[in-house]
């Protein structure tokens, strides 16, 4: 029997929470995973915890600051040198509204991509467009037919400008966690652009549900492992699966 082809994954923001759970479950399924974190100490501590599960030999740590394009380029070069290809990118990290650009990571990586790579942008129900008041930002991000990077940038720039002027409480921006909600909703929209641009990729958004994490102040109803299960399912979809969709947590849902 031929040996199974090894798969390689990168999970951002993976030293705790859903990211950590995703690393654990992917490695448990035989995927070689790069666990990334902004803080090297915390990342290495997370790697140490995986020894308890007997999968640490399938996980490596690499520092990554998602707000720094140079940091992403260093990670991409590491993936190219160590593995020669990338099969799965789980874009989980979120810091003060800043999120890694999956296309920038792909562009930085000159490594060979698999025939059908997977990109999963981890989002939450809070970042859905239903939480936006009616107004031009919601209209722009909702119209999949006219979405462009420039139109998404216009929403983000508009939010930043209103924030600088103390106007983010105006009626067009989400009232709850505005920076997180706007940034993640923009990334969700960008997912739809990427899915059209790379038809051979499998690119989706996934909500893990209301998980007990630091971000939810441990007020969620799902464990970290239960939340990660939904993300891992998307990461391991078979070739030819649906792309450009939003799953919340396991069923297709509106953006």
Determine the pLDDT at residue 1.
40
Low-confidence ranges of the chain (pLDDT < 50): 1-2, 96-100, 105, 108-111
DSSP structure string for 199-214: TTSEEEEE---SB-ST
Determine the pLDDT at residue 99.
47
Could you tell me the CATH superfamily of domain 8-125+187-253? NAD(P)-binding Rossmann-like Domain (3.40.50.720)
Determine the pLDDT at residue 66.
85
Determine the pLDDT at residue 214.
78
Condensed to tens digits (0 to 9), the pLDDT of residues 213-239 reads 877 777 788 999 999 999 999 999 998
Domain ranges across the chain? 8-125+187-253
Please pick, among 8, 180, 190, 246, the residue that the annotation labels catalytic. 180
Determine the pLDDT at residue 101.
54
Catalytic residue list contains 180: yes
Determine the pLDDT at residue 105.
46
- Is the alpha carbon torsion for 133, 139, 141, 144 positive or negative? positive
Do the strands 85-91 and 246-247 form a parallel or antiparallel pair, or are they unpaired? unpaired
122 bridge partner residues = 206
């Amino acid at each position: 029997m031929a040996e199974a082809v090894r798969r390689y994954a990168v999970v951002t923001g993976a030293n705790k929470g859903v990211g950590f759970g995703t690393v654990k479950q992917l490695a448990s399924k035989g995927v070689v995973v790069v666990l990334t974190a902004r803080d090297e100490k915390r990342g290495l501590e997370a790697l140490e915890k995986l020894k308890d599960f007997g999968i640490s030999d399938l996980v490596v740590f690499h520092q990554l600051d998602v707000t720094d394009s140079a940091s992403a380029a260093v990670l991409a070069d590491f993936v190219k040198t160590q593995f020669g290809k990338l099969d799965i990118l789980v874009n989980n990290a979120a810091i003060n509204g800043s999120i890694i650009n999956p296309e920038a990571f792909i562009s930085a990586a000159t490594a060979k991509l698999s025939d059908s790579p997977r990109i999963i942008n981890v989002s939450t129900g809070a970042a859905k467009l239903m939480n936006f008041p009616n107004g031009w930002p919601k209209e722009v991000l909702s119209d999949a037919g006219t979405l462009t990077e420039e139109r998404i940038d216009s929403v983000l720039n508009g939010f930043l400008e209103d924030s600088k002027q103390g106007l983010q409480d105006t009626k067009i921006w989400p009232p709850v966690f505005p920076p997180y909600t706007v940034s993640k909703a923009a990334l969700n929209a960008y997912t739809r652009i990427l899915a059209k641009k790379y038809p051979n990729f499998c690119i989706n958004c996934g909500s893990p549900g209301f998980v007990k994490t630091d971000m939810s102040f441990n007020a969620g109803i799902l464990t970290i492992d239960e939340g990660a299960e939904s993300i891992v399912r998307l990461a391991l979809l078979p070739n030819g699966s649906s792309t450009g969709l939003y799953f919340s947590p396991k069923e297709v849902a509106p953006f």
